[in-house]
């Protein structure tokens, strides 16, 4: 037996029909790994920010709901006691809204202060939601190129499978054991890329749904139900984004294993095709 280590085959050793596809797959794998490594820290940061904002929104919206109830009781009491609607004709031109605020100022420890605090809280809430919208757009911008590279990997695997079936006899006649073993792993790589691609597409759709919810909540009057729907959409988007990140890590390891743990490409020379 020859004691010398087996060298890695390059594209000169491969059947010509496969050389270009293998180069394409190798380059797409390297591109995915590089994109993911460059963007992973930022993606985790975005997810953490989304979760933090969701928790902050929950606290602000719970306080807002409590103040809504206080304000409603104050105004109802003002109307019942005649300070509101009944007093409006005798306010010397004072508007109904001003009369109600004036009534609120003497009830429940100063309801007017509640109204003012609500305005401030709503402003902060809107700023937080705007931040979520910006983070969602930022995440989409990072994910889209990775999705496209995943699609290229999956498509190339499908083409390799097809060519492998068509040229099985030709490959068998060649002494290219490493290449044949690699082809046997193409279906697994295709399946993994397809799974990760599906999760990625779902994540992008959830981000789009989140942005739609944001528009709906701040276009129409906010309600506790809409507030809850917004918080749920933010958390679901963060959860799905985290799942995508973990699947990207799984894809990265599968690609490294396929192309060689040392990072060397199975096929590297386009000039030889």
At 5-41, the pLDDT tens digits run: 344 444 445 666 678 888 899 999 999 999 999 999 9
Q: Is the predicted pLDDT of residue 210 greater than 60, yes or no?
A: yes
pLDDT in tens, 76-132: 555 555 544 444 444 444 444 444 444 444 444 455 565 666 666 677 778 888 899
Would residue 5 count as lying in a domain?
A: no
Residue 271 maps to a domain: no
Would you place residue 242 in the very low, low, confident or very high pLDDT band (cuts 50, 70, 90)? Answer: very high
The share of the chain scoring above pLDDT 70, in percent, equals: 60
Q: Which residue has the higher pLDDT, 167 or 108?
A: 167
Whether 25 contacts 158, CB under 8 Å: no
184: in domain:
yes
pLDDT band at residue 168 using 50, 70 and 90 as cut-offs: low
- The answer to whether residue 237 is domain-embedded is yes
- Which residue bears the tokens 């993994």? 192
When the pLDDT of each residue in the chain is averaged and rounded to a whole number, the result is 74
- For residues 78-115, one letter each, b for 16 or more C-beta atoms within 10 angstroms of the residue's C-beta and e for the rest, the string is bbeeebbeebbeeeeeeeeeebbbbbbbebeeebbebb
Confidence bin at 261 (pLDDT 50/70/90):
very low
Q: Tens digits of per-residue pLDDT, 130-162?
A: 899 999 999 999 999 999 999 999 999 999 888
d(CA 147, CA 64): 40
- The structural domain count of the chain equals 1
Q: Which long-range contacts (CB under 8 A, 24 or more apart) does 33-42 make?
A: 33/252, 33/255, 33/256, 35/145, 35/146, 35/149, 36/146, 36/248, 36/249, 36/251, 36/252, 37/252, 39/142, 39/146, 40/245, 40/248, 40/249, 42/142
Question: pLDDT at residue 58 above 60?
Answer: yes
Other residues' Cβ atoms within 10 Å of the Cβ of residue 272: 14
Q: Cα 94 to chain center, whole Å?
A: 51
Q: What DSSP string runs through 181-250?
A: HHHHHHHHHHHHHHHHHHHHHHHHHHHHHHHHHHHHHHHS---HHHHHHHHHHHHHHHHHHHHHHHHHHH
pTM > 0.85: yes or no? no
Supply the range of the domain harboring residue 145. 11-260
102-106 long-range Cβ contacts below 8 angstroms, 24+ apart: 103/74, 103/75, 103/77, 103/78, 104/71, 104/74, 104/75, 104/78
């Amino acid at each position: 037996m020859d004691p010398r280590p087996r060298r890695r085959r390059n594209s000169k050793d491969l059947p010509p029909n496969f050389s270009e596809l293998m180069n394409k797959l190798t380059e797409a794998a390297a591109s995915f790994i590089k994109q993911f490594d460059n963007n992973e820290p930022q993606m985790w940061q975005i997810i953490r920010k989304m979760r933090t904002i969701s928790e902050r929104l929950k606290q602000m919206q719970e306080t807002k709901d409590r103040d809504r109830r206080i304000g409603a009781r104050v105004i109802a009491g003002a109307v019942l006691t005649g300070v509101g609607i009944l007093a409006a004709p005798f306010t010397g031109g004072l508007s109904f809204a001003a009369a109600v605020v004036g009534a609120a100022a003497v009830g429940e420890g100063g309801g007017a202060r509640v109204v003012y605090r609500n305005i401030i809280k709503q402003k902060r809430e809107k700023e937080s939601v705007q931040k979520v919208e910006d983070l969602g757009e930022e995440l989409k911008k990072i994910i889209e190129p990775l999705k496209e590279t995943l699609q290229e990997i999956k498509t190339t695997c499908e083409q390799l499978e097809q060519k492998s079936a068509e040229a099985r006899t030709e490959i068998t006649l060649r002494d290219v054991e490493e290449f044949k073993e690699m082809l046997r792993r193409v279906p697994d790589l295709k399946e993994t890329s397809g799974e990760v691609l599906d999760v990625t597409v779902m994540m992008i759709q959830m981000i789009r749904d989140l942005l739609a919810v944001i528009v709906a909540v701040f276009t129409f009057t906010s309600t506790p139900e809409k507030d809850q729907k917004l918080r749920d959409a933010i958390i679901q988007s963060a959860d799905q984004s985290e799942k995508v990140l973990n699947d990207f890590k799984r894809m990265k390891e599968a690609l490294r294993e396929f192309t060689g743990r040392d990072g060397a490409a199975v096929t590297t020379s386009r000039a030889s095709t």
